[in-house]
Homo-oligomer: A and B are copies of this chain.
């Protein structure tokens, strides 16, 4: 069990944070937003085979396949994995088949952590297309009851996020946050998109005092670190039997 954190271990524990989009800028955004008392490695999906930005199932498949091809032979180097795509990305399940270490997806981590902080967790996502995709993924994970306030799209595409002035982006996000807060009665809002990192404070500021705004990559990392400190492994008896 090389992935238990302990004082006398030969090496410090290592976590791999995976950006399954082939866009270094996203990885840099992630790198800038997290920190931990372990070795943190960051990985970007290879541009040759993975999409620059995952926008559907076809993209997820190519992204997952490209990452597995590169990572498969090296999974033993890490004691934990965080898959930084806000979806039930198939790479999460593939890595659980390929490694004994804990593997955490950021969608599930954010919902699980949100469930300890309030009772009506809502998700703020980007384009409308992600609404049915995320509904399906949340149900797949068995977590629909933890997402009582549902999923609301800001209407912004990834491109808008990069090209619009930051103030305009924030304005649109806050309108969507209002829908979650007022009409859906959310008491916790998850900023459900890797590209939205760093905007959680802006969103929090327009919400009523007492609202909790969660950034999912940090949720994923903290859940992974918690599992690692407990010495927890991925089960090898059911769905994740060694491939």
A129–B65 CB distance below 8 A: no
Measured CA separation A222–B181 after assembly (Å): 29
| A9 interface residue per 8 A CB criterion | no
Residue from B61, B186, B214, B222 in contact with A90 in the complex, judged by beta carbons closer than 8 Å: B61
Measured CA separation A136–B118 after assembly (Å): 12
A227–B140 CB distance below 8 A: no
Residue from B108, B116, B142, B181 in contact with A227 in the complex, judged by beta carbons closer than 8 Å: B116
Residue from B116, B132, B145, B209 in contact with A120 in the complex, judged by beta carbons closer than 8 Å: B132
Kindly identify, within residues 90 to 134 of chain A, every residue whose CB is under 8 Å from any CB belonging to chain B. 90-91, 93-94, 96-98, 102-104, 108-109, 112-113, 115-120, 128-129, 131-133
Residue among A98, A118, A243 with the highest chain B CB neighbour number at 10 A: A118
Measured CA separation A186–B131 after assembly (Å): 12
A143 to chain B, nearest CB (A): 8
| A235 interface residue per 8 A CB criterion | yes
| A229 interface residue per 8 A CB criterion | yes
Which candidate, A52-60, A162-170, A191-199, is the interface stretch facing chain B? A52-60
A136–B140 CB distance below 8 A: yes
**Chain B residue with Cβ nearest A95:** B58
| Residues of chain A having any CB pair with chain B under 8 Å | 37, 55-62, 64-65, 68, 90-91, 93-94, 96-98, 102-104, 108-109, 112-113, 115-120, 128-129, 131-133, 135-136, 139-146, 148, 181, 185-188, 208-212, 214-215, 218-219, 222-223, 225-227, 229-230, 232-241, 243
17 contacts between A and B (CB under 8 A): A112-B115, A117-B227, A117-B232, A118-B235, A119-B238, A129-B241, A133-B239, A136-B140, A139-B139, A139-B142, A185-B238, A187-B236, A187-B237, A210-B237, A212-B234, A218-B230, A219-B226
